[in-house]
Structure 1
Amino acid sequence: MTSDFAQPRSGKYVLFDVDGTLIDAVDNQRRVWRTWAGRYGLDADAVYQVALRTRPMETFAAVVPDRDPGECLSALHELEDEDVRSGVYAAFDGASELLSALPSGCWGLVTSNYEHRVRGRFARTGLPVPSVLVDAAAVEEGKPSPVPYLLAAERLGAEPEDCLVIEDAPSGVESGLRAGMTVWGVNAPVAVDGAHRHFGSLREAVPDILVFATGAHRESAV
């Protein structure tokens, strides 16, 4: 006996954040910011706490207002690229099963990172890369603006109300909500404000995400 999910129902799409949602990169991000802070003689923990809440250029303005932000960003990018090449990465439990089960053309990635890093991390963790990937270079306004998720929907040919966003962070949840999409939170001990549903782990959410995408529970065939 074999079990397979039904084919996608027309007009239902899933949009995933990457870091913290599909890829466990917390230790990597902490290490990169610790090294970056060391270069500028700053307290690493204090810098990381700011970085968690703001985008890089905003972080630089807060912690090194007297330094050239372009120089700061170049240093950060250098460290992040090196981490993609040499860091240790892991996909969250359930990520591979989930992405492999989703029919092509019904899902995409929306990340505040850059495409080459996402592809590098996915290659190292064995995750498939979809045809639609909206990264930081694709938009002028990042999360929590709705622009990234709206662009992903446009590229998929989807209406916002037919999209499910999977996120782990407040800025991403806000972005999805402002785009008029259904938003589920994963991989956090408590629910992010505004999320329509919350799952403690990605693994817990896998069956429900697949049901949303296919419109049916598992179908069994002998």
Structure 2
Amino acid sequence: MTHEAAAPAGPAAPAAPARYVLFDVDGTLVDAVANQRRVWATWAARHELDPDAVYAVALRTRPMETFAAVAPDLDPHACLAALHELEDEDVRSGTYAAFDGVAELLTALPPGSWGLVTSNYAHRVRGRFDRTGLPVPPVLVDAAAVAEGKPSPVPYLRGAALLGADSARCLVVEDAPSGVRSGLAAGMTVWTVNTPEAHSGAHRHFPTLREAAPAILAFATGGA
């Protein structure tokens, strides 16, 4: 009887991430507050609206919802086209930067363990990430990807689904109250960064992203 040699085993498949992280973008990873305020102020001035009042609404809603609230008589699609032009010009010429520690954190996270969930649009996020040298993950849920924006749980649930993750294994990193409510409603752990104090309901708070980075990395690798 002859015995055939066993075929050599192929490379082992990479282990699934222990847990997952979903990041908001503007205000969490990229410092774009001044840019957003300037863009909305320019848009508001064109329609003789109070820029502070408009921006207060824009902070907690997606653009189409903002237009409905602050300018219900205007064509929302025309408003959105004008806003896109202003924001795209800002991506090309505006001055902004990633928060301290972001680049190191994102490159240290295990591949496939993290994604972005933003009320902005994907092409703009990619433009900002390209200018700031940040890596863009395969999972990027933007305003066009979901029917309901934050504070609905839909955006973060969509992000988890694309990662193949259960909500209970996901950490949301946010800076805004609407994002905190969205993550909590999705059944996820929520940490806040880059604000003086935690927003209501957040499980942990860090004054800066740099201070949160070790804990975020530990969460993603199963150490926290």
TM-score strictly above 0.5: yes
The Cα shift of 1:142 comes to 1.0
Determine the C-alpha separation between the residues in 1 that align with 2:61 and 2:165. 29
Deviations 1:125-152, CA, capped at 9 Å, x for gaps: 0001111111111111111111111111
The equivalent of 1:150 in structure 2 is 157
List aligned pairs for 1:20-169, cutoff 5 A.
20-169=27-176
Check the 8 A contact 2:21/2:170 in 1, yes or no. yes
Check the 8 A contact 2:18/2:221 in 1, yes or no. no
The equivalent of 2:196 in structure 1 is 189
The equivalent of 1:180 in structure 2 is 187
The DSSP-based 3-state class of the residue aligned with 2:100 is: coil
Determine the C-alpha separation between the residues in 2 that align with 1:8 and 1:142. 32
Identity over the aligned pairs, expressed in percent? 75
The DSSP-based 3-state class of the residue aligned with 2:59 is: helix
Q: Which stretch of structure 1 is more off in the superposition, 68-77 or 26-35?
A: 68-77
- With over 3 angstroms needed to count, the CA separation of the structure-2 counterparts of 1:213 and 1:31, relative to structure 1, is same
- With over 3 angstroms needed to count, the CA separation of the structure-2 counterparts of 1:72 and 1:212, relative to structure 1, is same
The Cα shift of 1:8 comes to 8.0
Q: Using CA pairs below 8 Å that are at least 6 residues apart, which structure has the higher relative contact order?
A: 1
Q: What is the aligned length?
A: 211
Tell me the TM-score normalised to structure 2 length: 0.89
State the one-letter code of the partner of 1:68: D
RMSD over equivalenced CA pairs, Å? 1.7
Q: Which stretch of structure 1 is more off in the superposition, 26-35 or 67-76?
A: 67-76
Determine the C-alpha separation between the residues in 2 that align with 1:142 and 1:53. 9
Unaligned runs of 5+ in 1: 1-6, 218-222
Check the 8 A contact 2:44/2:51 in 1, yes or no. yes
The Cα shift of 1:80 comes to 0.8
Check the 8 A contact 2:32/2:96 in 1, yes or no. yes
The Cα shift of 1:50 comes to 2.6
Deviations 1:169-196, CA, capped at 9 Å, x for gaps: 0111111111111000111111100100
The DSSP-based 3-state class of the residue aligned with 1:138 is: coil
Determine the C-alpha separation between the residues in 1 that align with 2:195 and 2:29. 13
The equivalent of 2:3 in structure 1 is none
State the one-letter code of the partner of 1:45: D
Tell me the TM-score normalised to structure 1 length: 0.90
The Cα shift of 1:202 comes to 0.5
Determine the C-alpha separation between the residues in 2 that align with 1:9 and 1:60. 42
Check the 8 A contact 1:160/1:179 in 2, yes or no. yes
The Cα shift of 1:9 comes to 7.4
Deviations 1:85-125, CA, capped at 9 Å, x for gaps: 11112000110110011011111111111110000000000
Check the 8 A contact 1:186/1:200 in 2, yes or no. yes
Determine the C-alpha separation between the residues in 2 that align with 1:113 and 1:8. 32
Deviating runs (4+, > 4 A) in structure 1?
7-10
The Cα shift of 1:51 comes to 2.0
